[in-house]
Chains A and B, each alone.
Chain A
Amino acid sequence: MAEKKPLVLTGGGVEQLQSGDTIAKADVGLGNVDNTSDANKPVSTAQQTALDLKAPLASPVFTGISDFSTGGAYFGTAAAANLLDDYEEGTWTPVLTSDSGETATLGAYTCYYTKIGRKVTININELVWSAISGAFTSTVRITGLPFAAASRAGGAFINNGLSASGSDTRVLALAETGQTYILLATQNDNTGNYGLSPVVASSGVIYGLQITFIVS
């Protein structure tokens, strides 16, 4: 086999190649090029560092806190009814008052709420009042709700100082549609009849009350 002659560069140019000449990659400025297949091409250290910070689209596992503040997430189906676009935990300040303006003196008190989508749950834990400004002779309310209810919702609660009047037997809490307060209503367990004027003692406590309602 005839010996192949290396390429000879002269004067910055390339002499005419003769049969049997060879050209090295470096001779034409391609010294770093090889025949590595696409699948075998390495990624740079910087690229790998960036890739390591990405989650796979299928079954991603997130660490830390995910930020959905500009949208939300679909669950089950990508439809409006399956979109969770709001979650919030916060505080609100209750006021025990009556339809005719009487108020109860409350200590410094903070109540909490949790909002998940359109559903809001408000909590009252040991709301103590020490005096009332006058006889509560009309509808009794807890005002200051964090959201207006878009539908009626109610529940029982434990208290000392609120009692049913007349033939009614217990006091219930009721969030009214479109209102920003909880109504404290009375009900007769035997007849189902209800009233709106519980008797309020000069001091008392609501030990625990929780209502969940829907908002607009």
Chain B
Amino acid sequence: MTTQTERKIEIVGQFKHIQVRDTVHILENGVRVASKPPHRFVIGPLDPAPCAEYQALKDLYHTPELIAAYEAT
């Protein structure tokens, strides 16, 4: 038995929330036999990035202009 994590990243809404879904699949001989419930979190314009991968996305989407607009709401 092995596991494989499927990561789905979506950019959602006016303020480009980075929406992450991790699903761990259980494989037997390379074939998926079961999946755990997905685990989710969201990174908003003012939220810190949990790692470099997400910091790159924040740099791309959470521009100073977007953050300023978000803070103005």
Chain A interface (Cβ < 8 Å from any Cβ of B)? 88-93, 112-113, 143-148, 150, 177-180, 215-216
Contacts and interface: CB of A to CB of B under 8 A. Distances in A.
Contacts of A147: 19, 40, 42
> Per DSSP, are chain A's interface residues mostly helix, strand or loop, or mixed?
loop
A151 B44 CA distance: 15
A88 B12 contact: no
Interface of B: 12-15, 17, 19, 21, 37-44, 47, 70, 73
B44 A146 contact: no
A144 B12 contact: no
A4 B9 CA distance: 84
A132 to B, nearest CB: 19
Contacts of B21: 90
A90 B42 contact: no
Given A145-B42, A146-B42, A89 B37 contact: yes
16 contacts: A89-B37, A90-B37, A90-B38, A90-B39, A92-B39, A93-B41, A112-B37, A113-B40, A145-B42, A146-B41, A147-B40, A148-B17, A148-B42, A178-B14, A178-B44, A180-B41
Contacts of A144: 41
